[in-house]
Homo-oligomer: A and B are copies of this chain.
């Protein structure tokens, strides 16, 4: 399983054999079955997860049963609740496997050690964080300035792979509209 990560990370930064061994030594392999949770609301998020195979969703569940999806993480994406992970506070979110999924996990201590000792990894992690923030900003702009139809189009364009693998009602939940509305919008658009 680590080989998948290795192949991916090689394109992002260059590591020596020793460095890769350290990355591997501190990683934890985990398999999740469809519908299984990686993180449960109320828990402190202890890991950063790299998805080798499968698909994760991060969502918030309200008391009334409605869910809002914060993020999808397919192959080669990372997933964690940053706020809970960084501050070590209980998470508001659930992270669930939408398909049978294989992930590599690194704890906070491991991440800190790796970042402190592997300069290339540090640079990579910082780039990741920047991208994360950029993506969040752009999503906020989309939320406050696009019509529902534009949001839908932007999602399909930005994440065609996720769009194909995920039920429409989850796209609706990611965009913040009802499944019926999204269904009707698409009727016209397609």
User: In the complex, are the beta carbons of A141 and B82 less than 8 A apart?
Assistant: no
Using known A-B contacts A175-B144, A176-B145, determine if residue A137 contacts B62 with beta carbons closer than 8 Å: no
| Residues of B contacting A138 in the complex (Cβ-Cβ under 8 angstroms) | 83
A interface, size bucket: 20 to 34
Cross-chain contact A143 with B143 (CB below 8 angstroms)? yes
- Pick out which of these stretches binds chain B: A4-12, A23-31, A32-40, A128-136: A128-136
Q: Is the CB of B145 within 8 A of A68?
A: yes
- CB of A129, distance to nearest CB on chain B (Å): 6
Q: Min CB distance, A140 to chain B, in Å? A: 6
What is the oligomeric copy number? 2
Shortest C-beta distance, A23 to chain B (Å), equals 21
Inter-chain contacts of A129 with B (CB < 8 A): 129, 133
| A106, CB-defined interface residue at 8 Å | no
Q: Which of A144, A145, A174 has the most CB of B within 10 A?
A: A144
- In the assembled complex, 23 residue pairs joining A and B whose CB atoms fall closer than 8 Å, in A order, are A60-B141, A60-B145, A62-B145, A66-B145, A68-B141, A68-B144, A68-B145, A70-B137, A82-B130, A82-B133, A82-B134, A83-B134, A83-B138, A86-B130, A132-B133, A133-B136, A136-B136, A140-B140, A143-B176, A144-B174, A144-B175, A144-B176, A145-B176
Contact surface of A with B, Cβ cutoff 8 Å = 60, 62, 66, 68, 70, 82-83, 86, 92, 129-130, 132-134, 136-141, 143-145, 173-176
Q: Apart from A68-B141, A68-B145, A83-B134, what are 6 other A-B pairs with CB-CB below 8 Å?
A: A70-B137, A86-B130, A129-B129, A132-B133, A140-B143, A144-B175
Q: Which 5 A-B pairs have the closest CB atoms?
A: A144-B176, A136-B136, A143-B143, A68-B145, A83-B134
